[in-house]
Amino acid sequence: MKPFEYAKATAHADATAQAANNATFIAGGTNLLDLMKLEVMAPGKLVDINRLDLSEISQTDDGGLRIGALVTNSDCAADKRIRDDYPVLSRAILAGASGQLRNKATTGGNLCQRTRCYYFYDTAMPCNKREPGSGCQAMEGFNRIHAILGASDACIATYPGDMAVAMTALHAQVEIEDKSGDIRHVPVREFHLLPGDHPEKDNILEPGDLITAVILPPPVEGKQIYQKVRDRASYAFALCSVAAIVKMDGDTIASVALAFGGLAHKPWCDEAVEELLVGQQPSAELFGKAADLLLAEAQGYGSNDFKVPLTRRVLISVLKKATQTGAAS
Partner 1 sequence: MESTELVVNGKAHKLEADSRVTLLDALRNHLGLTGTKKGCDHGQCGACTVIVEGRRVNSCLTLACMHDGDEITTIEGIGQPYNLSALQSAFVAHDGFQCGYCTPGQICSATAMIEEARAGWPSFVSDDLDGPAELSDEEISERMSGNLCRCAAYPNIVNAIRQAAGEQS
Residue pair 284/194 in contact (Cβ under 8 Å)? The answer is no
The identity of residue 82, as a single letter, is I
Residues 109-128 binding ligand FAD (CB under 6 A) are: 109-110, 112-113
Integer-rounded Cα Rg, in Å, for the chain is 20
199 DSSP 8-state letter: T
When binding is defined by CB under 6 A, the residue of 127, 188, 215, 298 that contacts ligand SF4 is: 127
**Pick from 9, 16, 23, 30: which binds ligand FAD (CB under 6 A)?**
30
Residue 294 sits in the site that holds ligand SF4 (CB under 6 A): no
CA-to-CA distance for 174 and 65, rounded, in angstroms?
12
Question: Can you name the residues that pair with 26 across neighbouring β-strands?
Answer: 48
**323 is in the binding site of which of ligand SF4, ligand FAD, partner 1, none (Cβ under 5 to 8 A by kind)?**
none
Give min distance, CB of 35 to partner 1, in A.
10
The nearer residue to ligand FAD, 116 or 247, going by C-beta atoms, is 116
| Under rule CB under 6 A, residue 157 binds ligand FAD | no
Which one of 7-15, 66-74, 87-95, 121-129 is the stretch in contact with ligand SF4 (CB under 6 A)?
121-129
Q: H or E element: which one contains 45?
A: strand 45-48
Considering the complex, what minimum distance in angstroms separates the CB of residue 31 from ligand SF4?
14
Binding of ligand FAD at residue 213 (CB under 6 A)? no
Q: What whole-number distance in Å separates Cα of residue 105 and Cα of residue 145? A: 22
What sign for the dihedral angle of Cα 195, 304, 123, 210?
A: positive
DSSP 106: B
Q: Which partner, ligand FAD, ligand SF4, partner 1, none, binds residue 128 by CB below 5 to 8 Å per kind?
A: ligand SF4
Q: How far apart are CA 116 and CA 142, in angstroms?
A: 12
Tell me the number of residues near ligand FAD by CB under 6 A. 30
Tell me how far, at minimum, the Cβ of 170 lies from ligand FAD, in Å. Answer: 16
The residues that bridge with 177 in the sheet, in sequence order, are 183, 210
Binding site for ligand SF4 (CB under 6 A): 115, 117, 119-120, 127-129, 136-138, 155-157, 199
